[in-house]
Amino acid sequence: MKKIGVLTSGGDSPGMNAAIRAVVRAGLYFDLEVVGVYKGYHGLIHDQIGPLTSAHVSNLVQRGGTILKSARSAEFKTPEGRKKAHENLKKHQIDALVTIGGDGTFTGADLLSKEFDFPVIGIPGTIDNDLYGTDYTIGYDTAVNTVVNAVDKIRDTAGSHDRLFIVEVMGRDAGFIALRSGIGAGAEKILVPEAPTNIEKILQKLEKDMRQEDKAGIIIVAEGDEYGGAMGISKIVKEHFPDYDTRVTILGHLQRGGAPSAFDRVLASGLGYQAVKGLMDGKKSVMVGSINRKIVFTPLKKAIKYHSSINKELLKIAEILGGG
């Protein structure tokens, strides 16, 4: 093995740049040439490939986003598109590929690896933290802290005006961000896709709070909640309590940006190094992750097929500490 490539694909997450930096510098340490593929699989198909040196990744570990950029690629989902991508890998004499991303990224990586017997290792980079085979994905910790910081500020105005704020966070299929940030921010209610939303219980609590003249509060809702996210919950609350001063805040893509936390920087650095080391050891079509602080390699197919389960005990803790 003489040359490896690295790309980022799918939604960006804080810490991706730290992972790129680790892949480049670990590769150089092992006397490998490293190239970057720009704009994910789209760039791999359209030959947007260039060298990466130590200087290219200097002063990078603290930056959010991805210097390699990211893009969706419908063409890569076709056999013809993947064939073009493989031809470009051969053209540049790239011997292996490191892909940083989530489900979609790994689905493409697994197909490329299997169809052309090409070594690919995935690094989990997604704020959703829903990938099987790792305790934490790169960007999750930063996203949670971003939400907590935002909710802390919202709570100030909620208390000043006796307002109920319904805050929507990312998570179409997974409530990891909502659950952990909700506990961290002291939310009165946390609604996630993995658990049924007991709307009657929420309304009963709001009625009780109203009687006690305690109208200020925070409800954290994952966007994939069964009632349609924050807007859906807000509509129901306003129908039952028209006198409640209810406001909606949708944090949206704010959660993907910003400087990565120290935790994400260290995680990304370690996984980037281990990905290169794994390639040197002959591993392919696997995702590198960390479970119980130990490095593990999970087949990409398994990482895609299964999803991490939400912590049921944390759900119970959130219910109790939120006041029932």
Tell me how far CA of residue 323 lies from CA of 39, 186, 188, 297, 308, in angstroms.
Answer: 46, 10, 7, 41, 27
At residue 298's C-alpha, the angle toward residues 293 and 304, to 5°, is 120
What is the length of the chain? 324
> In angstroms, how far is CA 49 from the centroid of its own chain?
25
Residue of 12, 110, 128, 264 marked catalytic? 128
- HEC readout, the chain: CCEEEEEECCCCCCCHHHHHHHHHHHHHHCCCEEEEECCHHHHHHCCCEEECCCHHHCCCCCCCCCCCCCCCCCHHHCHHHHHHHHHHHHHCCCCEEEEEECHHHHHHHHHHHHHHCCCEEEEEECCCCCECCCCCCECHHHHHHHHHHHHHHHHHHHHHHCCEEEEEECCCCCCHHHHHHHHHHCCCEEECCCCCCCHHHHHHHHHHHHHCCCCCEEEEEECCCCCCHHHHHHHHHHHHCCCCCEEEEECHHHHHCCCCCHHHHHHHHHHHHHHHHHHHCCCCCEEEEEECCEEEEEEHHHHHHCECCCCHHHHHHHHHHCCC
- Our answer to whether residue 128 is catalytic in this structure is yes
Active-site positions read 128
